[in-house]
Amino acid sequence: MSRFVLFLRSLVFAIGMFLATVIWAFVCFISLPLPYEKRYYITSRWNVFIVWLGKVVCGMDYRVIGKENLPDKPVILLAKHQSAWETIFLFYSLPRPLVYVLKKELLYIPLFGWALALLRMIPIDRSNGKDAFAMVARIGKQRLANGQWIIMFPEGTRTPVGSQGRYKGGGARLAVETNTPVVPIALNAGECWPRNSFIKKPGLITVSIGKPIDVDGMNPVDLMTKVENWIESEMRVISPGVYTNAQIDPSTTHQTT
C-alpha cells in the first residue's frame, strides 16, 4: 500500500476521531449527574467507536489471547506500552471498570481531560516522588475496595517497537502494599499505531494477557522482575520478526517509583 493511501486513511481516521471526541465530551458532561457505572459505560462508547473506526478505516484489527486468565476479583494490570491504541482499547474491553494512574497534566487537555476527570482516575505529579506514590497507594486502595481494577504502564511512556524501556516499580509496590494479584499484559499495537506518528498502518494487533501473579511473600523488586520477564518474553512470541535480534536483560535496574 502506498504511503499516500496510508496518509489519506490516517487523515480520515484523525478527522473522525476529532469529531467523535468533541461530541462525546459534551455527552460525558451531560452524564455528570448519573451514577459512576453509567458514566463509565457512556464514556467507554467513545473507545469502542475509535477502535472500530481504526479497524474499518485504517485496517487495524486485533485479537485477544488469554482473556480467561482474568480473575473475578480486584487486580492490578501491568501492561506494555507502545501506542495510544491500548489505552483506548483496554478501557472498554475488560470485565471491570479501569482506573488509570496518569500524569495530572492529561486532565488539562480540553475535552479529553474533562472526560477523564469524571472517571475516578488517579492523577499524579511525577515531580513529587514519594509523595506521589503515597497518594497512589491511598487512592488505589479505595478504588480496589470499590471493585475497580488499576492499570499501570511500568515503562512510564510509550516505547518504540522492538525496544524495552526501563520498568519502574511503582505498580509492583502498590500490588505488594495492597496484597493484590498482578496480571501482566503484552501487546504490539505500536506496529499499527506507532508513537508520535500520524500514519496508521493496517495489521493485526495482539493483546496477550498473562496468568495472575500472587504477590504473597514477594518483594516489589522480585515481582517487577517477574512481570518484566513475562512481558518481554511474550513480546518475542507475538512479534517475533521485530525482536529477532533482541535479548531479555534479566538484570535490568528497576526504579521503585
Tens-digit pLDDT profile for residues 145-157: 999 999 999 998 8
Q: What are the tens digits of pLDDT across the range 225-250? A: 999 999 999 999 999 988 765 544 44
Asked if 173 and 78 touch (Cβ cutoff 8 Å), the reply is no
Q: Which residues pair with 208 in a beta bridge?
A: 65, 186
231: phi then psi, degrees, rounded to nearest 5: -60, -50
In angstroms, the CA 67 to CA 103 distance is 28
Q: What per-residue confidence (pLDDT) applies to 134?
A: 87
Strands of 182-187's sheet in order across:
60-65, 203-209, 182-187, 76-79, 149-152, 98-103, 122-124
d(CA 40, CA 44): 6
181, 119, 90, 138: CA torsion to nearest 10: -20
Is the pLDDT higher at 243 or at 185? 185
Query: The whole model's pTM is what?
Result: 0.90
pLDDT band at 252 (very low <50, low <70, confident <90, very high): very low
- Alpha-carbon separation of residue 170 from 76, 86, 155 (angstroms): 11, 20, 10
What is residue 210's predicted lDDT score, i.e. its pLDDT? Answer: 98
Give me the mean pLDDT over the 70-75 stretch: 96
Residue type, 70: L
Using alpha carbons, select from 153, 158, 148, 188 the residue that is nearest to residue 168: 153
The mean per-residue pLDDT over the stretch 168-195 comes to 96
Mean pLDDT of 39-50: 95
CA distance 11 to 75: 37
- pLDDT band at residue 129 under the 50/70/90 scheme: low
Q: Does 203 have pLDDT greater than 80?
A: yes
Domains and CATH numbers, the chain: 60-238 (3.40.1130.10)
